[in-house]
Amino acid sequence: MSETAEGFVPENELESILLQAAQESKLTQPLKRALISATLYALGRVRDAAETESGMQGRTKVDLYGASTGGIRMIPVFTSERRISEFIRTDQPYIALPGRDLLEMVEPGIGVVVNPSSACGLEVHPEELRALLESMT
């Protein structure tokens, strides 16, 4: 693949679509579909059985790590293992899940930042994330 915006080389179809959408700074329909269907990576950990409540039957509980940006809580998500390793540069726990599953775990009122600190990233604010999930049901 060829090198593009500030040295960003897409590693998969999602990153190629993200690169095109980033030029428009919005969630395009192809990007929405790609985010839902691709594997996404996030800082976090799966709770072990001792930590989960009996009310969680059949569901895995995941703790996602995030930060506040401009008063809005955001969860960093990544489009490949390379992107997450470029971001954390230390040994941190992370999870990989189908996009729909990971995004559905983000609590209402919280957004996501796709590939933060990358030459090709995108912020998805809480209301955009809810609309994305509702449009893909």
Sign of CA dihedral 53, 48, 51, 41: negative
State the Rg of the chain over Cα: 15
* Nearest Cα to Cα of residue 107 among 45, 58, 51, 65: 65
At 35-86, the pLDDT tens digits run: 999 999 999 988 765 544 545 455 567 889 888 878 889 999 999 999 999 8
H helices of 23-80, where? 29-37
Q: How crowded is residue 96: how many other Cβ atoms within 10 Å of its Cβ?
A: 13
Q: Measured between alpha carbons, how far is 79 from 14 in angstroms, rounded to an integer?
A: 7
Sign of CA dihedral 79, 82, 86, 90: positive
Which CATH superfamily includes the segment(s) 5-135?
A: Uncharacterised protein PF11572, DUF3234 (3.40.1350.90)
pTM metric for this prediction: 0.83
At 89-123, the pLDDT tens digits run: 788 899 999 999 999 999 999 999 999 988 888 88
Q: 22-26, 77-81, 129-133: which has the minimum mean pLDDT? A: 22-26
